[in-house]
Structure 1
Amino acid sequence: MQTFEEKRKDLDSLSWTRKDAEGNTSWRIEVGAEVLKEFRELVASFDITEGVLDTIEAGDVDTPLLAELAERARGEILGRFGFAHVVGFGEGGFDELQTRLFYVLFSLHMGEMMTTYGRLHDVKDRGYDFRSVDVSVSKTRVEAPFHTDSTSRRIFPNVFGLLCLRPAMEGGRSLLVSGCRAYGEIADETPELLPALFKDHYRNTVTPGDEETDIFDNAFPIYSWGTFSSGPTLRYMRHWIETGYEKAGRSLTAEDTASFDRLDEVLGKDENVLGVDLGAGEILFFNNCTVAHNRTAFVDFPQEDRKRLLARAWLRVAEQD
């Protein structure tokens, strides 16, 4: 907590409101005609299979324009706003496998693709509700609370992406908020609630690979500095903390609950939240250290081949060259 106060200027430089983000759309990355041409020439040169998606590396192909675009996105993701919205690829007329390949190569040009869920994890409604069964929000259609990805102390993507292959019939909007903005408001207005956000909290072990992890070995703070990144990191999803405490046979204190209530309130303030609607072929990359995200509930098309489908990628992206 002391480090956060000492680094307040750095925190403020990563803080933003909806008005800020709407007024400076540097985070919107356009896939131009030259990049589409370069990629079209690439996909015409070989057969794309699911196996290719799992094994291809950035150095296997010659896509300098795509690499340049990915570097621009990386700068936005690691910069003030902490996200990049990649648009324009859907206009190229590519099929689903080709679109997934573009996404994989874009991700690889930014960093390492983690395989915790496989390189790509399909985000679609599987009929679950995370509130009643231990499944990730990615397998449900209900509204998600504001959160960051991964409940694991050991497994942490500092960047992740969502590729929209098919939008929902209704709803499913992505919501983004600055974790540094949330910290600043709490520090300025209710500083007595900060200590509970900087102490270790149990997290439910629902991330693949953590099945055998003892719950007592899976505790870490909501806010930290220099632990999961070189700077500030927000790691939060209230539901997995509450169920983690249940699994540990422990109880949250009144101070913990009050702090979580306040954090939820600030994260959900209309003035702090930016909404982004993803069209087919569009990608949203997040800095998983500084941006919390959410998704509104959605209604699917009745046809199976039109149901909402996104592909998620977890990445480790170098913070400096």
Structure 2
Amino acid sequence: MSKNSQTLKFQENREQLAALSWTRQDAQSDNSWRVEVSAEVKKEFQELVASFDLTDAVLDTIEADDVELPLLAELAQRTRRQILGRYGFAHVVGLTESGFSEIETRLFYVLLSLHMGKMMTTYGRLHDVKDRGYDFRSVDVSVSKTRVEAPFHTDSTSRRIFPNVFGLLCLRPAMEGGRSLLVSGCQAYSEIADETPEHLPALFKDHYRNTVTPGDEKTSIFDNAFPVYSWGTFSQGPTLRYMRHWIETGYEKASATLTAGDAAAFDRLDAVLEKDENVLGVDLDAGEILFFNNCTVAHNRTAFVDFPEDDRKRLLARAWLQVPERD
């Protein structure tokens, strides 16, 4: 779709954009994004777990149709509606004091995900998010393998491989820091369109992205270019796909140079994404889950300091999902 067509799509659908836009004050005054796991759902799940031998292999092979969990299925659809709604994220709480073991908590997370959509296996069904001693700014690794503060971004640098939803299950929080930060990509677009529309052409044109997503190792950088904002390409509505670092290193791999206009547009987008009034911070305790709409919400996390003991270090489990946008 051409830049002009994209511009027209966004102009024609300003009401939909407004419905998907929010500020920190909006989110703090509305707790609909907080989804509680009821005692009944936990009891239903415990009865399932008691009926079979739970191993790591089960996490990789179990499917939604293998189990009868009507209450969890209803919870999954409530969570899905929230993720695809105005705020574009859901904070699932209620497992912290459940007494579930780590593998049981992981299974709950897998089944909740499977009842919303398909789990992608790009990194495996579950990818452990923990500090592995890397810094994405100097090595081509995902932010999930570092402890440094990340810039606002959406998941996946690949044109071909795109989760429209992803989740983060907290198994162990950090000793200090590691707070999740969320911002509405639609709110950011609307502010730019209203205040500095001269930056929109740079955000609608294709940009090279570094090929760091597993499965893209042999993909030519010239085949991995797409816009920051698009409509109807990666989802039925608006999509923000952005991490400036991977765009800049993509241009380096292509032996190309970002124009001054491109850099100015990214500066403006970064500034709007980072505005205090636009950013919601969420602290995750053990057993809590955040699901994000990877099309409409950009995320970030603060730097963190780990506990010295290996078995207490920060550990999250990430899942990439392909979730139907319509029932």
Q: Could you state the TM-score of these two structures normalised by the residue count of structure 2?
A: 0.98
Does residue 1:27 correspond to 2:40, yes or no?
Answer: no
Pairwise CA RMSD of aligned residues?
Answer: 0.4
Percentage of identical aligned residues: 82
Offset of residue 82 of structure 1:
0.2
Matched residues in 1 for 2:36 and 2:24: separation? 21
Matches within 5 A, 1:214-253: 214-253=220-259
Matched residues in 2 for 1:2 and 1:196: separation? 15
Does residue 1:306 correspond to 2:312, yes or no?
Answer: yes
Matches within 5 A, 1:28-107: 28-107=34-113
Q: Which residue of 1 aligns with 2:205?
A: 199
Matches within 5 A, 1:137-152: 137-152=143-158
Does residue 1:110 correspond to 2:150, yes or no?
Answer: no
SS in 1 for 2:169: strand
Offset of residue 91 of structure 1:
1.3
Matched residues in 2 for 1:192 and 1:245: separation? 22
Q: Which of 178, 181, 192 lines up with 2:184 in the alignment?
A: 178
Q: Which residue of 2 aligns with 1:271?
A: 277
Matched residues in 2 for 1:32 and 1:279: separation? 17
Matched residues in 2 for 1:298 and 1:4: separation? 37
- 1:73-93 CA-to-partner distances (Å, cap 9, x unmatched) read 000000000000000112110
Matched residues in 1 for 2:243 and 2:100: separation? 36
Offset of residue 52 of structure 1:
0.3
Matched residues in 2 for 1:170 and 1:211: separation? 35
How many equivalent pairs are there?
Answer: 321
Matched residues in 2 for 1:132 and 1:126: separation? 14
Offset of residue 6 of structure 1:
1.1
Matched residues in 2 for 1:4 and 1:297: separation? 35
Does residue 1:163 correspond to 2:169, yes or no?
Answer: yes
Offset of residue 2 of structure 1:
1.7
Offset of residue 174 of structure 1:
0.2
Matched residues in 1 for 2:174 and 2:210: separation? 29
Does residue 1:292 correspond to 2:298, yes or no?
Answer: yes
SS in 1 for 2:307: coil
- 1:42-96 CA-to-partner distances (Å, cap 9, x unmatched) read 1111111111000000111111111101100000000000000000112110100
Matched residues in 2 for 1:67 and 1:275: separation? 28
Q: Which of 2, 5, 10 lines up with 2:11 in the alignment?
A: 5
Q: Which residue of 1 aligns with 2:139?
A: 133
Structure 2 unaligned spans of 5+: 1-6
2:23 counterpart letter in structure 1: T
Matched residues in 1 for 2:97 and 2:231: separation? 41
1:199 counterpart letter in structure 2: K
Matched residues in 2 for 1:313 and 1:198: separation? 28
Matched residues in 2 for 1:127 and 1:147: separation? 21
Which structure 1 residue ranges, 4+ long, deviate > 3 Å from structure 2? Answer: none
Matched residues in 2 for 1:130 and 1:2: separation? 36
- 1:2-51 CA-to-partner distances (Å, cap 9, x unmatched) read 21011111100000000000111101000111111111111111111111
2:112 counterpart letter in structure 1: F
SS in 2 for 1:91: coil
Q: Could you state the TM-score of these two structures normalised by the residue count of structure 1?
A: 1.00
SS in 1 for 2:167: strand
Q: Which residue of 1 aligns with 2:287?
A: 281
